[in-house]
Amino acid sequence: MALLRAGRPGRSRRADEELLTRLYDEHAPALLAYATRLTAGDRQRAEDVVQETLLRAWRHPEALTGERGSPGAWLRTVARNVAFDEYRARRARPREVPGDLAQSVATGDDEIDRALEAWVIGEALDALTPAHREVLVETFYRGRSVAETSAALGVPPGTVKSRTFYALRALRGALVERGVIS
């Protein structure tokens, strides 16, 4: 409703309300059925697709004129594009796990294993030279880029890259020596 209050330039609030009401009344049921098929039966996602489609129609009322063909066809095209964009966006990020499932998976044994792994990795890091250890701390633990690490350590970027390579190789050797990896 905030969009209705804001209005569109050159249009009255009443005209906006009438447009949205007409669009919803005429096209929402068919769009919802179409979007439900596009979202493999997920009603909530289908409703989101319909809402975004009608919002785009509100933003571009010129597309709903008969000059461009049937408004229903344009709306279905927009709905398809919205559904595919949403699908691609979900695939681009890691899969979400429901909160109750994630909490039920976490057990005390996992915490003990993580603590032991952290301890062994800490020992392996202590076996490295100070220069190798500090470049790994800056790049991996602090998440700094090569340029940021270079500035933090006061060494050229090429040195950061070569130290990182040799530090990882030495860390791997220390972990093999401790039986963590083979």
Q: Measure the CA–CA gap between 127 and 4, rounded to whole angstroms.
A: 64
Helix ranges, 106-145 (H):
108-126, 130-136
Instruction: Give me the pLDDT at residue 5, please.
Output: 38
7-16, 41-50, 52-61, 116-125: which has the minimum mean pLDDT? 7-16
Does the pLDDT value for residue 100 go beyond 70?
no
pLDDT in tens, 26-68: 888 888 898 888 888 889 999 999 989 888 887 877 777 666 6
pLDDT in tens, 166-176: 999 998 988 88
Does the pLDDT value for residue 107 go beyond 60?
no
Q: For 21-34, give the DSSP string.
A: HHHHHHHHHHHHHH
Higher pLDDT, 50 or 21: 50
How many beta carbons lie within 10 A of that of residue 166, not counting itself? 15
Q: What is the CA radius of gyration of the chain?
A: 28
CB 43 within 8 A of CB 36: yes
> What's the start-to-end Cα distance of the chain, in Å?
60
Higher pLDDT, 112 or 156: 156
Does the pLDDT value for residue 108 go beyond 80?
no
Does the pLDDT value for residue 105 go beyond 60?
no
Whose tokens are 């949205």? That residue is 20
Does the pLDDT value for residue 99 go beyond 60?
no
Does the pLDDT value for residue 104 go beyond 90?
no
For the CA atoms of 11, 17, 21, 23, what is the dihedral angle to 10 degrees? 20
pLDDT in tens, 62-92: 777 666 667 788 888 888 888 888 888 777 7
Q: Measure the CA–CA gap between 3 and 9, rounded to whole angstroms.
A: 12
24-38, 89-103, 137-151: which has the minimum mean pLDDT? 89-103
